[in-house]
Structure 1
Amino acid sequence: MAGNTLKSEKKEPKKKKEQPPNPDVLKPDKEPEVKVKELVKDERTHKVLGAVFLLLALYCFIAFTSYLFTWEEDQDKVFRYSSQVLFMHEIEVDNLLGRLGAFTSHWFFFKGFGIASYLFCYFFFIIGINFIVGRRVFRIWRNVKYILFGLLFISMTMAFLSGNAAFPWGGALGDSLNKWTSGFLGKTGAGLLLVLAGLSWVIWKFNIDFKLPERKPKPVKEAFAGFGEPEEEEELLPVKPPVEEKKNAYKGGESLVTLVPVEEEEEFEQELQLIEKEEPAAYVPPVAVPEPPAPVIPEVPEQEAKIFIQEELPVTPPPARKKNDTAEVAFEIKPVFEDPDEEAIEELEPVREPVLADPYEPTLDLRDYKYPTLDLLDNHGSDKIVQDASELELNKNQIIDTLKNYDISIQKISATVGPTVTLYEIVPAAGVRISRIKNLEDDIALSLSALGIRIIAPIPGRGTIGIEVPNVKKTIVSLRNMLASDKFLHSQMDLPIAIGKKIDNENFIADLAKMPHLLMAGATGQGKSVGINTLLVSLLFKKHPSQLKFVLIDPKKVELSLYKLIEKHFLAKLPGEEDAIITDTKKVVHTLNALCIEMDLRYDLLKEAGTRNIREYNKKFTERRLNPLKGHRFLPFIVLVIDEFADLIMTAGKEVEMPIARLAQLARAIGIHLIIATQRPSVNIITGTIKANFPARIAFKVSSKIDSRTILDIGGSEQLIGQGDMLISFNGELVRLQCAFVDTPEVERVVEFIGEQRGYPEAFMLPEYVDEKEMEGKDFSLADRDPLFDEAARVIVQNQQGSTSLLQRRMKLGYNRAGRLMDQLEAAGIVGPNLGSKAREVNVKTEADLEEILGSM
């Protein structure tokens, strides 16, 4: 015991008591180890090298220029002593840069390239500029090729021209090349070779055009006989290209806190600045399509006109003809008799002449359609973000003090002010673990007395840690300002949607066709309905009714009812339905299955056309390379919008989930895109099948981290502050946005403006769908045959192909109705029995025989 006591007493003096850290004293930063690889890649190293090369270029230029005047005095000394002249102090030279300048100039001029040595000054200059600026201002390899050619060409040319001059204009290289070429080709041949080389370089560099100007033929007035005098050509004005918005985190409409070390808090207070963004560009309405003159229709005798019945096509007026038409389109016209008992006219051959036609323009269906204007929308707020400097200073000090209390030092701090939140970016000192700052989320929120603090550690691609703090005064993001931006006006996207603004005040405008489907979720009252209206109004401002159709499903029956006025312009519905906005769950199932049928029909059209997606198909159709008589048609984009997905899953379950999963998996290529919103982001609503096919997701404020993970596969949306504050996961990135705001009266004005214009005779009809369960046990007879029985029989006999898919494409029917028609045709003896995957055999070979059968039924 005594021994142990003595040992412990001896060890105690060696221990040093640890003193608590002083919060007011910052620990010195640890000196990081410098590695050779990092030193080479360091930006400062590049700038030093750039300065060295620029100095070298200037040094050579001064030495070479001085050599032009002092070469006679210095050449003898350099010849006599060679390189030893550099270290002989008693020898004096006249070159401005001393013995080294004289020796270097002599080596480059006399022993090298002559006057072409100035190209080395240019070479050192471009390398120095690239290094010191930090980016490729000059293309090195292209300039090296020019320099190498110049060294050979200029040195040889100067030697050829100078002859036996005392000054080495061509240098040793030029003299050698000149002597060898002159001995091989002669003096004249060498001169011609130099002229050819110089002329070739000029042609290759500047692509000189040696064509003589063509004389324009005088216009022939007789060509315009009957059409009036030709209109004068309008003067072509230069078109200013669309201005792309700059993506600069410190120059766009955000306030910027200058990056400073933490130790210099007084300087930080003085350098706090606010930078406001410029006003948005004025809105330019879409240019109206000029109305072409009415085509000249030849008169047809009344007797012959009754013989032909035009096949029912989309209501599209024929486009006007132009003088430079090149496309040739010829459609075959077949006689169809009004009455089967009427005698057939045997010898009736219509004249088939190639018809010159313009490319098909779908917008001419409604040629007088006018796009909505920005006057219909309200300006809820300015694009300029005004931030209180005192708030920035207070938050900055609170963050620094909170981190200092936990012995965490930082090197820099900056602030980017957005419409809703301010992003404070900090660079921790060397040796500070990121996890320590991440764990202080609640402590920082407590010190700032703010709701919704979110820490991003680290910010991807920035090398900093972000702390998002809500602003005391929030700025409303107006949809009107976003639609007036150049980024939206000049976008070449298929389906552009203006979603909101980022923290750096940049407009977030995406292409729904690239997403290709969008899932929106969030708690009640956090902005989902406003977000849906924002997306729909964006599309209405950009697309023509012939290019886009909506399928609106609204189980709540009140959110999407505003769009009923544009039924004959933009909405699609089932045949026989009165309302285009679907609210009944049973009709929702029928509509989703009808969309699946439309998807299958479109894929059949793509297969026949030999195209892979809707863009290639529509391009081929507008170029009139597809025949409408064979079922081809212009395919508009279809956007399916479901306002409350959870209610459908609870009432219909798999009947709704399965067709939506099919559409999400396959429909992107044929132009059908889905927007689904729900206020119950639970795993039984947003299943794995749904999530797998919706890569683009928007999360508004939710109640728990579990719900956030269900939507985004990551937490964070539970820390949002509501009222349109959201996170969007798109293209592998998670971005915080403030959703653009559009009020209900604004939406009403937009749809009323569109609804008052002339529309189509009816809404866009989806294929008919009949539930197989409803048809079970219902036997049919020929007396109760389908109303389309006669038409289907004629289609089958004319094509001599007993195919159910043929009836679907030609008559725009659902699979079930086309199958029932085929069964009725089999019962009538027109087609044979089902042969599995092969087409049925057609028993009736001529249309005359068919008419006899139909007349006897």
Structure 2
Amino acid sequence: SQSDSAPEVPTVVGEFNETVVMDDDNTVDEAGQSDTENTVKTESSTLSPLFVNKNEDEEEDKEEYADMPLFATDKTVKAQREVADMAPFDPRADLSHYKFPSIEFLRPSSNSGVSVDAQEMEENKIRITDTLNHYGIPISKIEATVGPTVTLYEIIPAEGVRIAKIKRLEDDIALSLAALGIRIIAPIPGKGTIGIEVPNKDPQIVSMRSIIESPTFANSHMDLPMAMGRTISNEVFMADLCKMPHLLVAGATGMGKSVGLNAIIASLLYKKHPAELKFVLIDPKMVEFSLYARLERHYLAKLPEEEEAIITDPMKVVATLNSLCVEMDNRYALLKEASMRNIKEYNDKFIHRHLNPEKGHRFLPYIVVIVDEFADLIMTAGKEVETPIARIAQKARAVGIHMILATQRPSTNVITGVIKANFPGRIAFRVFQMVDSRTIIDRPGANQLIGRGDMLFSNNGKLDRVQCAFIDTPEVSAICDSINEQVGYPSAYELPEYVAEAGDAGKLASVGDRDPLFDECARLVVTTDTASTSSLQRRYSIGYNRAGKIMDQMEAAGIVGPSQGGKPRQVLVDPMTLERILENN
């Protein structure tokens, strides 16, 4: 047995033994049997830890490999399978018992039916035909379509009649019909006819309930459905705010702007769950949106430190709009990380659990910003408001932030080119001047409306005449109360905090940051009694920005008055007072 085992061990032992012999200065006899046995015993005892260590190394390697990508991939696959087995994420789960407002809160329509009888319609047809014939314009056909406030008479002129000839007869036709004012559409887009809109003698009110109850509204699959009212053909008119993507509302005082905004908000409340929609309501008039303060825990968004959810202070408006810009940038960062192009694709991916909430991903509700009196904001806050609004209007559509601006003063210094370029959706209620109509919808027509909710809706060049749905204050109050009584979120949807940069803290620079030329420029301004930025540029050969900054610093020090447009500023101190100001500072 010894001889049998010898050939197996020596191959390892022999090689190893040589090393031992050399290390031990030939003290071991390789030929001796006993020595060999001792060597084998010695070496086997020496080798045994080697094999044990090898096994331990394998265990350690396995522990190391467990953290390596091969094993991590298996874990990831397992986690993905677990996620795939989970039900899709439900954004409404937090408020799963939320009930949408009842239709009973809206008053039923009290209309008696058609506002124009057949006899009146025939009489108007004859008068229009006679008037046109009197001016040598024969027509081959005339048809009438009765709407709630306006009847559309469509005429087909005989061959060879110029349209411009009919357009010039607007006032003559109005005179023959004894109407409040007519509007000629020549030609009607998509039809080979010319339209003459004649106000009804007994206009009907379009109730909000009739719009909400209609199959058109109930079956709509729009992302942000706005039920506006009824068209001339008495059909329910709806528009999708997501497709616009921003809306400009303008009209004279008392012509239906606030009612129109209430109709838009109500139609969104009847369609969208609190998890899917948030409002930022800006109300410089302080009274128009006060009813919606009760929706704070369900539908409103605000800054974390704000007490009131309805923003009425112009200075807080600036902070809120800048905060919305931060929210917009944050949302774009999430879309970029998820490789999605818009909020709809992103939310769909999140609902199917393809995005990890631990990496900051979340369900993004739509945010609708509504400003009730934009002109007042421009007067009080100026360009500080216009800049964030322009940023939101230019970029925010893809991340679900949409804006509605309303104003009763549609002049060009309020509705600037930047605003108009980014607000393709326009609603024009009645205005009194043609130039205002051109500012809103880029064409005349709003000055020919009859008021009381009669409006023109323009979207991407297409113009529709709509009678806005009427919703009264008690109806809005009942809807808000029904939502407020239900369980809501702990607080309003929090917008990210906006930290103003040093340059954004205000135009007026601090005393410590004064320009080296400040004293010399101040003495020049007081001596010459002319506070002009351009004069400082020429005198000291400096740029416009530096000269403007020096002028702002002088305003902060009380040396000159505020800017007056293109005119020089007023100098407020005399040379002696100036020296005292310079010495004290």
Number of the residue aligned with 1:655: 384
| 1:559 and 2:265 correspond | no
- The correspondence for 1:590, drawn from 319, 331, 350, is 319
Q: Distance in 1 between matches of 2:206 and 2:98?
A: 29
Number of the residue aligned with 1:508: 237
- The correspondence for 2:149, drawn from 415, 420, 428, is 420
Alpha-carbon displacement from aligned partner over 1:130-156 (angstroms, at most 9, x marks no partner): xxxxxxxxxxxxxxxxxxxxxxxxxxx
Q: Shift of residue 381 of structure 1?
A: 3.3
Root-mean-square deviation over aligned CA pairs: 2.0
- The correspondence for 1:750, drawn from 466, 470, 479, is 479
Number of the residue aligned with 2:199: 470
| 1:370 and 2:99 correspond | yes
The one-letter code matched in structure 1 to 2:187 is: P
Q: Distance in 1 between matches of 2:231 and 2:301?
A: 34
- Conserved 8 A contact 2:283-2:310: yes
Number of the residue aligned with 2:496: 767
- The correspondence for 1:611, drawn from 326, 340, 354, is 340
- The correspondence for 1:699, drawn from 417, 425, 428, is 428
- Conserved 8 A contact 1:700-1:725: yes
The one-letter code matched in structure 2 to 1:728 is: F
The one-letter code matched in structure 1 to 2:161 is: V
Q: Distance in 1 between matches of 2:466 and 2:146?
A: 13
TM-score by length of 1: 0.49
Distance 1:440 1:353, change over 3 A: closer
- The correspondence for 1:407, drawn from 121, 125, 136, is 136
The one-letter code matched in structure 2 to 1:475 is: Q
Question: When the two structures are aligned, how many residues end up with a matched partner?
Answer: 433
Matches within 5 A, 1:520-559: 520-559=249-288
Distance 1:733 1:329, change over 3 A: farther
| 1:634 and 2:363 correspond | yes
Q: Distance in 2 between matches of 1:624 and 1:447?
A: 67
The one-letter code matched in structure 2 to 1:611 is: M
Q: Distance in 1 between matches of 2:82 and 2:179?
A: 77
The one-letter code matched in structure 1 to 2:103 is: L
Q: Distance in 1 between matches of 2:285 and 2:195?
A: 39
Number of the residue aligned with 1:713: 442
Distance 1:353 1:389, change over 3 A: closer
Matches within 5 A, 1:287-436: 330=79, 356-382=85-111, 384-436=113-165
Stretches of structure 1 lacking an aligned partner (at least 5 in a row): 1-326, 332-351, 780-857
Q: Distance in 1 between matches of 2:118 and 2:385?
A: 53
SS at match of 1:646: helix
Number of the residue aligned with 2:394: 665
Q: Shift of residue 562 of structure 1?
A: 0.6
Matches within 5 A, 1:423-502: 423-502=152-231
Q: Shift of residue 509 of structure 1?
A: 0.9
Q: Distance in 2 between matches of 1:396 and 1:619?
A: 54
Matches within 5 A, 1:207-226: none
Q: Distance in 2 between matches of 1:708 and 1:419?
A: 23
Number of the residue aligned with 2:536: none
Indicate the structure whose relative CO is greater, using CA pairs within 8 Å and at least 6 residues apart: 2
Matches within 5 A, 1:836-855: none
- Conserved 8 A contact 1:423-1:468: yes
Q: Shift of residue 380 of structure 1?
A: 3.1
The one-letter code matched in structure 2 to 1:722 is: G
SS at match of 2:261: helix
Q: Shift of residue 390 of structure 1?
A: 2.0
Number of the residue aligned with 1:727: 456
The one-letter code matched in structure 2 to 1:694 is: F
Q: Shift of residue 723 of structure 1?
A: 0.3
Q: Distance in 1 between matches of 2:181 and 2:483?
A: 41
Distance 1:354 1:678, change over 3 A: closer
- Conserved 8 A contact 1:595-1:766: yes
Q: Distance in 2 between matches of 1:771 and 1:366?
A: 35
Q: Distance in 2 between matches of 1:606 and 1:465?
A: 48
Q: Shift of residue 486 of structure 1?
A: 1.2
SS at match of 2:336: helix
Distance 1:480 1:460, change over 3 A: same
- Conserved 8 A contact 2:115-2:200: no
Q: Shift of residue 383 of structure 1?
A: 8.8
> What percent identity do the matched residue pairs reach?
64
Q: Distance in 1 between matches of 2:449 and 2:282?
A: 28
Alpha-carbon displacement from aligned partner over 1:629-683 (angstroms, at most 9, x marks no partner): 1111100000000000000011111111111111011000000000110000000
Matches within 5 A, 1:820-839: none
SS at match of 1:364: coil
The one-letter code matched in structure 2 to 1:746 is: E
Q: Distance in 1 between matches of 2:346 and 2:206?
A: 38
TM-score by length of 2: 0.72
Distance 1:425 1:600, change over 3 A: same
Number of the residue aligned with 1:517: 246
SS at match of 2:141: strand
Number of the residue aligned with 1:147: none
Q: Distance in 2 between matches of 1:652 and 1:330?
A: 52
Distance 1:494 1:328, change over 3 A: farther
The one-letter code matched in structure 2 to 1:672 is: I
Alpha-carbon displacement from aligned partner over 1:782-830 (angstroms, at most 9, x marks no partner): xxxxxxxxxxxxxxxxxxxxxxxxxxxxxxxxxxxxxxxxxxxxxxxxx
The one-letter code matched in structure 2 to 1:749 is: A
- Conserved 8 A contact 1:419-1:505: yes
Q: Distance in 2 between matches of 1:718 and 1:508?
A: 22
Stretches of structure 2 lacking an aligned partner (at least 5 in a row): 1-75, 513-585
